[in-house]
Amino acid sequence: MAASPVTPENTESTENTEPAGDAPDYPLTRECPYSAPGGTAGLHADGPLQRVRLYDGRTTWLATGPAEVRALLSDKRMSSRSDFPDYPVLDERHLHMRGTREMAKEEDGGFAGALFGVDPPEHTRQRQLLIPHFTARRIAVHRPEIQRIVDERIDAMLAQGPPADLMPAFAAPIPMMVVCAFLGVPYEDREHFEKPARDLFDPGRADAAMEELSGYLARLVGERRSELRGGLLADLMDDRVAGGAMAVDEAIQFAFAILVAGTVTSTSAIALGTLALLDTPGQYAALRDDPDLIPGAVDEILRHVSLVEQLARVATEDVEVAGQVVRAGDGLLVSFAAANLDPSVTSHPGEFDVTRPPDHHFAFGYGLHRCLGHNLARLELEIVFRSLTERFPGLRPAVPVAEIPAFNDATVQKLLAFPVTW
């Protein structure tokens, strides 16, 4: 008889706290802001599954092979809940943010959070409620609106004249405006949600930011219901909530998750993708001269910059992977950065080349938790890079690339500023 699956409540920490021997330290440090750490290829060369040492001396599993990544992320025995004792924590600061990051704690009414830190069958139910709103056909309807948003930001940059900081002028506002339009949230209210959305990644501000953002959305679907401008949030309230398939609090949590996830990652993809194009000889010019390359270039940008280098999981039962057994309760990291360097994904692991797009990259994840908004993100990035290369043919960094400040808090790689001229 198979052993009963473990849960956070019946699991004690078993992770190794002894000296880790030859286990490499993890996460690795980036030498280039728009490329995975140089040591990533070495991790991959050491085998598809190994132990790595975390900041506190504990060790955890790391999966680097594409086949292993696909198998693990499709396996219902791998939990995304961060309240397991051996859930891998990559930075001490994250210990103060776990309630914010998981968004999966049981609430008084029994609601278990939204999408990211929820396991099947609850996660399956949530995705089934949202998937019809994220199909390629439904997302394509937003193309004119996204194009208008991008054109307006470019018009403003051109009117102001060079130089400009691409972050506040372009990379940050576009994803926020797109997601607001998609949800039906008034962008004029941005002072109520832009800063809280950023502060969710600041340990000292995370709890207050979650309260502010949740409170704003609750007011919007309550006393300010008439101000919703169509979009997903109004659809959920009119259809799912009114029909009894969804609670109001759940609709708020979905909007919360989409507002945060759909802005932070897209902002970094625009900024880091532009930097990679400008800093790699011939790449920006290739897209300027041949816009038909742009759909494939988006895939190459996402593969190469590795915004999210890894995801954390915990085994709820023993799982055999690559000839080894990940025991029930063991933490595990799934490395997208390493899998994206495999020859089955790209013909040029150490290079950035928009003329050679990858096959089946992992930038949107895989399996049970594959990014729900991938169609929206892809459309947005295609419009951004097509418009940018067309209307700024001479775009270039205004300072040496080494002086452009970057930051990685072990969640998403970011630029803090990006001075450009043209």
DSSP-derived secondary structure for 238-268: IIIITTTSS-HHHHHHHHHHHHHHHHHHHHH
When pLDDT is averaged across residues 75-81 and rounded to a whole number, the result is 94
- Nearest 5°: the CA angle 420, 274, 254 is 115
- Three-class SS state of 211: helix
> According to the model, what pLDDT value does residue 106 have?
41
Q: What is the rounded average pLDDT for all residues in the chain? A: 89
Backbone angles phi, psi at 269, to 5 degrees: -65, -40
| The pairing of beta strand 164-165 with beta strand 419-421 | antiparallel
139-166 burial, b at 16+ Cβ within 10 Å, e below that, comes to beebeeebeebbeebbeebeeeeeebbb
* CA gyration radius, the chain: 21
Contacts of 121 (CB under 8 A, 6+ apart): none
Q: For helices 374-391 and 294-305, what crossing angle results, to 10°? A: 110
Q: Is the peptide bond before 85 cis (omega within 30 degrees of 0)?
A: no
Secondary-structure class of domain 8-421 per CATH: mainly alpha
Per-residue pLDDT at 358 exceeds 80: yes
Contacts of 153 (CB under 8 A, 6+ apart): 169, 170, 173, 174
21 burial class (0-12, 13-18, 19+ CB within 10 angstroms)? exposed
Per-residue pLDDT at 20 exceeds 70: no
The tens digit of pLDDT for each residue in 154-199 reads: 999 999 999 999 999 999 999 999 999 999 988 888 888 888 877 7
> According to the model, what pLDDT value does residue 19 have?
46
When pLDDT is averaged across residues 222-235 and rounded to a whole number, the result is 85
> According to the model, what pLDDT value does residue 1 have?
46
Q: Are 52 and 24 within 8 A, CB to CB?
A: yes
The tens digit of pLDDT for each residue in 285-322 reads: 999 999 999 999 999 999 999 999 999 999 999 999 99
> According to the model, what pLDDT value does residue 193 have?
80
Better-scored residue on pLDDT, 270 or 260: 270
> According to the model, what pLDDT value does residue 398 have?
98
> According to the model, what pLDDT value does residue 148 have?
97
The tens digit of pLDDT for each residue in 361-405 reads: 999 999 989 999 999 999 999 999 999 999 999 999 999 999 999
> According to the model, what pLDDT value does residue 68 have?
97
Per-residue pLDDT at 111 exceeds 60: no
Q: Which CA distances in Å does 409 have to 182, 296, 406, 418?
A: 28, 28, 10, 18
- Three-class SS state of 54: coil
d(CA 20, CA 53): 6
| Chain length of the chain | 422
> According to the model, what pLDDT value does residue 115 have?
78
Amino acid identity for residue 420 in this structure: V
Q: Is the pTM of this model over 0.85?
A: yes
Q: At 7, is the pLDDT very low, low, confident or very high (cuts 50, 70, 90)? A: confident
